[in-house]
């Protein structure tokens, strides 16, 4: 019993893309679990530190996928310098007994740099996250890493910390489920994966994050936001996504179904806790596809959610939208949603992306949302393996048929480990097997003969313009694709017009119904 009360310090480390402000659920869960067991915790959060790469949210603003905002004026902070030096200072002042690192693939190499900066201190650590589960062999091959956690980490982190606090040497702990351990001689102990956790058992705690981290731009407003997980896993099999990987890992290893939903009662408890502790102005539902929940559960959730009526954001797919569900969302005070269209060519979408449903069905879903007056954005993706410029323009033309949306989001296909299209890209010679992703707004990692990286970059930055402006403007827009002085000049003029027409107010303030395009075109002369 005395050993269980021994002071034991754990530093939670969250590598992240600069400025990506959604609070990470994993860190919240680890905080809750470890705090409840009496561990002393601190956090190093890389989100507010500048790096050499462009800040992803600002890149979306630059490419007309979101309204303008300022970290300093709107969110109340300046992006910080010296990520590595700040991390070293945190480690030296806190003196942790264990580092718990949770990183998505986009930030994994940043995590490696952080560990490399303190390698001489030889601090015990475990690194987990989606990338580690998708590619454990690759992850543990990095010399800076001595232990990884694959699969779900809630119970793994707790068992490792408890055993170390009870006096076991880190070097000798080699039989914790969900871990791979690199011994001093280079041998790797590969422990099997544990059964799935009960997602109703744990409630996240975001108290270690700075207050500024709770605020984010959304639909033209700055809102205090807390993430809410109502389900874990996805019932769909999109080939560009790494979510199906989780289902395969647990099906093959344990014969278990990864997709689980929290009970409605538990969700009500969690939201009450958030209201009490954080007073959120927006709940950010992090489920892959919120409306995939059975209708009876949605009805029960909608009815009980009247207790809060807090505005919320959610992500879903066109085929999950019905008039009945739209009515429920309206009743629940849905603030905004994102809808994944991805590609405008039905055959390519079906055969390459494994996303089914016709364009006619998508158009019908968009009309339901337009009628509901719930603000929404449309997600698109370009730069898939074997995609052509002509196919991208089919997606642009299809988006031109859609109406009622507030904004368009365009991502470049990002070959995440664990996704089917990554494997295909490697097999076709389009992708270096060692390539690591950085973000969906970064330049393409594929090297394809029919569609260059420069062409994909140019189409990403002008996609919203091609959709939003008259076709007779397309020659101007084509010039703006180019990264030349002339191209940048016309891009800047087009961007200013687009922002005035489409982003002059918040998501509830629409542009004038009649736009004098001929008069606006004079500004391009």
pLDDT single digits (tens) 474-484: 999 999 999 99
pLDDT digits (tens, 9 = 90+) for 228-252: 999 999 999 999 999 999 999 999 9
Q: What is the mean pLDDT of residues 497-506?
A: 93
d(CA 479, CA 383): 20
pLDDT digits (tens, 9 = 90+) for 148-159: 999 999 999 999
Q: What is the mean pLDDT of residues 256-280?
A: 97
Q: What is the mean pLDDT of residues 213-233?
A: 96
pLDDT > 70 in the chain, percent: 97
pLDDT > 90 in the chain, percent: 90
d(CA 160, CA 503): 50
**Within 13 A of 163's CA, how many CA atoms are on the CB side?**
17
Q: Which residue has the higher pLDDT, 383 or 57?
A: 383
Read off the pTM.
Answer: 0.95
pLDDT in the model for residue 2: 42
Position 3 pLDDT exceeds 50: no
pLDDT in the model for residue 1: 37
Position 5 pLDDT exceeds 80: no
d(CA 28, CA 36): 12
pLDDT digits (tens, 9 = 90+) for 83-116: 999 999 999 999 999 999 999 999 999 999 999 9
d(CA 50, CA 80): 6
Buried b (16+ CB within 10 A) or exposed e, 114-134: bbebbeeeebbbbbbbbbbbb
Q: Which residues contact 226 (CB under 8 A, 6 or more apart)?
A: 23, 206, 214, 274, 278, 280, 282, 283, 284
pLDDT digits (tens, 9 = 90+) for 374-399: 999 999 999 999 999 999 999 999 99
pLDDT in the model for residue 6: 67
Cβ 384 vs Cβ 347: under 8 Å? no
Reported as a pLDDT band with limits 50, 70 and 90, residue 438 is: confident
d(CA 43, CA 211): 13
Q: What is the mean pLDDT of residues 502-520?
A: 82
The overall average pLDDT reported for the chain is 95
Structure-block tokens of residue 472: 């007779």
Pseudo-torsion of CA 466, 467, 470, 474, nearest 10°?
A: 10
Q: Which domains does the chain have, with CATH numbers?
A: 3-190 (3.40.50.280), 221-468 (3.80.30.20)
Position 511 pLDDT exceeds 70: no
- Which residue in 178, 286, 248, 239 sits closest to 416, CA to CA? 239
Position 4 pLDDT exceeds 70: no
């Amino acid at each position: 019993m005395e050993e269980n009360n021994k002071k034991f310090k754990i530093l939670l480390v969250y590598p992240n893309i600069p400025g990506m402000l959604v609070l990470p659920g994993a860190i919240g869960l680890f905080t809750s679990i470890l705090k409840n067991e009496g561990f002393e915790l601190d956090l190093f959060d890389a989100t507010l530190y500048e790096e050499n790469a462009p800040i992803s949210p600002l890149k979306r603003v630059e490419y007309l996928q979101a309204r303008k905002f300022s970290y300093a004026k709107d969110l109340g902070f300046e992006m910080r310098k010296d990520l590595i030096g700040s991390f070293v200072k945190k480690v030296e002042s806190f003196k942790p007994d264990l580092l718990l690192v949770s990183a998505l693939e986009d930030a994994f190499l940043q995590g490696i740099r952080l560990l490399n900066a303190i390698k001489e201190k030889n601090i015990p650590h475990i690194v987990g996250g989606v990338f580690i589960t998708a590619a454990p062999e690759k992850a543990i091959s990095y010399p800076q890493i001595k232990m990884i956690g694959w699969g779900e980490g809630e119970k793994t982190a707790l068992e490792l910390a408890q055993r170390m606090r009870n006096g076991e040497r880190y070097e000798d702990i080699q039989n914790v489920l969900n871990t791979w351990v690199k011994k001093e001689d280079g041998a790797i102990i590969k422990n099997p994966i544990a059964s799935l956790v009960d997602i109703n058992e744990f409630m996240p705690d975001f108290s270690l994050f700075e207050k500024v981290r709770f605020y984010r731009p959304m639909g033209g407003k700055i809102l205090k936001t807390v993430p809410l997980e109502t389900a874990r896993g996805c019932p769909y099999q999109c080939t560009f996504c790494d979510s199906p990987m989780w289902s395969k890992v647990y099906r093959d290893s344990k014969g278990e179904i990864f997709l689980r939903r929290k009970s409605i009662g538990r969700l009500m408890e969690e939201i009450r806790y958030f209201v009490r502790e954080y007073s959120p102005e927006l709940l950010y539902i992090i489920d892959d596809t919120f409306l995939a929940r059975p209708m009876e559960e949605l009805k029960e959730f909608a009815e009980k959610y009247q207790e809060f009526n807090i505005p919320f954001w959610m992500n879903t797919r066109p085929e999950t939208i019905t008039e009945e569900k739209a009515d429920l969302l309206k009743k629940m005070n849905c603030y905004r949603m994102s809808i994944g269209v991805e590609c405008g060519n039905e055959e390519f979408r079906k055969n390459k992306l494994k996303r089914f449903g016709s364009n006619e069905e998508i158009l019908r879903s968009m009309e339901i949302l337009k009628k509901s007056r719930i603000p929404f954005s449309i997600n698109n993706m370009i730069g898939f393996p074997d995609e052509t410029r002509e196919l991208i323009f089919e997606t642009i033309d299809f988006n031109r048929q859609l109406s009622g949306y507030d904004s368009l989001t365009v991502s470049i296909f990002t070959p995440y480990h664990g996704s089917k299209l990554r494997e295909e890209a490697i097999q076709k010679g389009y992708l270096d097997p060692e390539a690591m992703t950085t973000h969906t707004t970064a330049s393409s990692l594929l090297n394809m003969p029919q569609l260059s990286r420069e062409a994909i970059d140019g189409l990403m930055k002008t996609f919203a313009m091609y959709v939003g402006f008259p076709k007779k403007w397309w020659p101007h827009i084509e010039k703006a694709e180019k990264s030349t002085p002339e191209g940048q000049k016309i891009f800047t003029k087009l961007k200013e017009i687009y922002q005035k027409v489409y982003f002059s107010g918040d998501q509830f303030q629409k542009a004038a119904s009649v736009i004098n395009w001929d008069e606006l075109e004079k500004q391009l002369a």
